[in-house]
Structure 1
Amino acid sequence: MYELLLSGGLLADPERGTLRAGDLAVHDGRIAATGAPGSLTAREVLDVDGLLVAPGLIDLHTHVFPGRTGLGVTADSVGVEQGVTTVVDAGSCGSDAWPHFRAEVSAPARTRVLNWLNVSRHGLVHGHSELAGGARDLDTAATDALLREEHSAVRGLKVRMSRSVLGDSGLAPLRTAKELAGAHGLPVMVHVGNEPPALAEVLDLLGEGDVVTHAFHGKPGGLFGAGSEPLPQAWAALERGVRLDVGHGSASFSFRTARRALAAGIRPFTCSTDLHCRNTDGPVRSLTDTLGKLLALGMPLMEVLACATVRAAEVLGLAGELGTLRPGSAADLSLLRLREGAVTFTDAEGERCEGSRSLVPYAAVRAGRHHPPTSREAGV
């Protein structure tokens, strides 16, 4: 007999693109089986009637280093408490602060916490110009050692390539990040924003598996440059296997840019939030709210869910372990309510978009352990 059974829900499987009634059994922290309604038994049964049973949502870009940085929120507040089973901190921590991050953030969290290690040794601990000091902001030996020794938690490097961060460092930190990560077969996540450097120059340095976060911002010098068509370098990067990530943030997601990109045939590969203490009350709020914005833009439900499940797991090198409903994979599951009805979403520029559906987190199962309904949905 299995330990836990989720019964009566709709199995939302973005990997296969299917949505079907069915039961899912969990045993020893793993998905043990899926089957037709009523076909499985377990010692504990959760009635999930009316809910989507989806692979555990993965937020590829968060800031969860409170106390040590000015942006941090607790991992669980944007993780299991919002129906999200994995959060990835995106550059809050560099090599200098890694022992503190591991002990203060990863170890006590109920949410799975992974890391994009900042190529700057400081991360964001000393402010937001972590690469303006040139070579003295880098400790390549320590970063290289962490990529080798902490590979289960550190899934790649983060480098912020915008004017306010870099000072006179130019493209050098990105080249360093690419060399260090490439030596370990890991990707780089690149923050893009206000030029310099030009987005075209940044894209030319990226290869298969690398991630451009904030890809759909509305600032000057984005995907479309000063023209009406996407940059040639953007098309070339996509052909090389570079992934475009939403990375909403306080100032980095524009409905206008996203609409133009979708019309041109450029779609988000992944959807993350860039959640931190300055945007949890808006415009970002949560991963499910951000996914709802993609629904409002006309993207299909299964594609939207894939952006925060199977595709996000692929980016992290964890395909088959996370982001899937396959038996044998980690029993990380998000229980979501697909709510029908008018809803208004707001982007980082204050533009509103009317939608007809929203995703509301109900509860989470993380490594086989049930985390009760969120207060927003309790008793509904």
Structure 2
Amino acid sequence: MSGSPGESATSRRPEALHGTNSSRAELTRVEAGPYDLVVGGGLLIDPEKGTSTVGDIAVRDGRISAVLASGTAGGACAEYVDAHGLLVTPGLIDLHAHVYDGATGLGIAADLAGIGSGVTTVVDAGSSGSDTFEDFERTVVAPSTTRVLSWLNISRHGLTRGTTELAGHDDIRSADTVRTILARRDVIRGIKIRMSRSVVGRNGLEPLRAAKRITEQIAAETGAPFPVMVHVGNAPPAFGDVLDLLGPGDVVTHAFHGKAGGLFPEADSGPLRQARDAVERGVRLDVGHGSASFAFDTMERALEHGIRPHTVSTDIHGRSLVGPVHDLTTTMTKLIAAGLTLDETVRAATSAAAESIGLAGEIGSFATGSVADITLLERVEDATPLVDAEGRTRTAGHRLTAVAAVRAGITHRIRKADA
């Protein structure tokens, strides 16, 4: 995000920092030393250690080589990014985005949702299925600067034939889905399924049962957990019935929407019993803001009852890009306005997201040897109201805006198109 929270992300583009300067993230070339890059002097927010300290991040061969005391590595690198006065986090991860640009009615360019907004990894949430994944990989994954991963849709079509992808009798072909996943397990990190009335039609819970059978088969064949991400919305099926089918590591996106039949069954009630049970057994609640799926009221009530989001994501797409979502840093600012701490919010957008897709310690981390994905954030004083998906507002008093990002050791600044 650059400018006010209401600014369209279409006014931003990434630019490699090499040979350029940014007023808030200045890069200089110094005598070559043992490091390729040092991001120096920023406040390092380490989501795994739970610490915030001023220091330097040293990078070699696209991976984090060391975390050092501030000022100790600046003369021993080929490139130096001055991060004084900035927040420095592991590269932000958007766990739920729609970036199958041109093939679906929702898709936007991956680098607009990703590196152009300070997000180093986006996980496309079900835009492609087994019939369309090869094209998605060729046209989106391969050419993007942003790391693009996938929640493969349980529907063979993904979202390429509209948004009723599970209403037909031949929309799920489990054997094809399994083959597609096993062939590209590095990119496909889980299965996406939308469980709301308009999507499943008369099929009820059966598509989710089919998805769970597939994830269990993948886990058995690979020896690693393989989650399902479930979109929840208008019933039927009932939210509680969906939750009852989920296990440890599964993700519920849109968990904090304000629609009827959600986390709070009654206006003055506590949270749904199945929701508490699900969280206790390891089901993860994701924000998935979108155009209709995040309510300040629901989030604030959840926090009052001790239910916190495990991950923060945008559900960014063509209809939510210009509002109310805008980008991941705006969504993170909204969580802070609702009552999460900065450290909690950063963790939800970095290490917790990496953990949810089986990449803990590889991305979303400052650990030595992890991929050198880094986001530089400015905390700007701003009283502009933040708007949720129901038109309600909160004011945080400040906003987070991304000014630069490092993707696998290559540094990009973020600037307005007219800059």
TM range (shorter): over 0.9
Output one character per residue of 1:145-179: Cα deviation in whole Å (capped at 9) or x when no partner: 11211110000000000000011111010000011
Partner of 1:195: 235
How much identity, in percent, do the aligned residues show?
A: 56
TM-score, length-normalised on structure 2?
0.88
Distance in 2 between residues matched to 1:122 and 1:157, nearest whole Å: 13
- Contact kept, 8 Å, 1:361 with 1:377, in 2: the verdict is no
Q: Relative contact order: is structure 1 or structure 2 higher (C-alpha 8 Å, sep ≥ 6)? A: 2
Q: 1:139: how far off?
A: 1.2
Distance in 1 between residues matched to 2:417 and 2:82, nearest whole Å: 18
Distance in 1 between residues matched to 2:82 and 2:146, nearest whole Å: 23
Which of 364, 367, 371 in structure 2 is aligned with 1:330? 371
Q: 1:212: how far off?
A: 0.3
- 2:133 is aligned with what amino acid? W
Distance in 1 between residues matched to 2:339 and 2:298, nearest whole Å: 14
2:248 partner SS: coil
Q: 1:376: how far off?
A: 8.1
Asked if residue 209 in structure 1 is aligned to residue 249 in structure 2, the reply is: yes
Which of 126, 136, 158 in structure 2 is aligned with 1:91? 126
- Contact kept, 8 Å, 2:303 with 2:339, in 1: the verdict is no
TM-score, length-normalised on structure 1?
0.97
Distance in 2 between residues matched to 1:10 and 1:373, nearest whole Å: 19
Q: 1:340: how far off?
A: 3.0
Output one character per residue of 1:243-272: Cα deviation in whole Å (capped at 9) or x when no partner: 000000000000111111111111100000
Asked if residue 353 in structure 1 is aligned to residue 394 in structure 2, the reply is: yes
2:383 partner SS: strand
- Contact kept, 8 Å, 1:217 with 1:253, in 2: the verdict is yes
Which of 188, 191, 216 in structure 2 is aligned with 1:154? 188
- Is the deviation greater in 172-181 or in 4-13? 4-13
Q: 1:332: how far off?
A: 0.5
Which of 21, 38, 45 in structure 1 is aligned with 2:71? 38
Asked if residue 26 in structure 1 is aligned to residue 59 in structure 2, the reply is: yes
Aligned residues: 377
Which of 359, 372, 375 in structure 1 is aligned with 2:416? 375
- Contact kept, 8 Å, 1:15 with 1:324, in 2: the verdict is yes
Which of 346, 349, 357 in structure 2 is aligned with 1:308? 349
What does 1:176-191 align with in structure 2 at a 5 Å threshold? Answer: 176-185=210-219, 186-191=226-231
- Contact kept, 8 Å, 2:41 with 2:55, in 1: the verdict is yes
What does 1:163-312 align with in structure 2 at a 5 Å threshold? Answer: 163-185=197-219, 186-226=226-266, 228-312=269-353
Shift >6 Å, 4+ stretches: none
Pair 1:344–1:376, CA change in 2 (3 A): farther
- Is the deviation greater in 153-162 or in 178-187? 178-187
Output one character per residue of 1:35-58: Cα deviation in whole Å (capped at 9) or x when no partner: 111111201111112111100000
- Contact kept, 8 Å, 1:361 with 1:374, in 2: the verdict is no
Partner of 1:128: 163
Partner of 2:40: 7
2:411 partner SS: strand
Stretches of structure 2 that go unaligned for 5 or more consecutive residues are 1-33, 220-225
Stretches of structure 1 that go unaligned for 5 or more consecutive residues are none
- 1:245 is aligned with what amino acid? D
- Contact kept, 8 Å, 1:215 with 1:247, in 2: the verdict is yes
Q: 1:34: how far off?
A: 1.0
- 1:301 is aligned with what amino acid? L
1:113 partner SS: strand
Distance in 1 between residues matched to 2:264 and 2:376, nearest whole Å: 37
Output one character per residue of 1:280-314: Cα deviation in whole Å (capped at 9) or x when no partner: 11000000000000111121100000001010000
Asked if residue 81 in structure 1 is aligned to residue 122 in structure 2, the reply is: no
- 1:15 is aligned with what amino acid? E
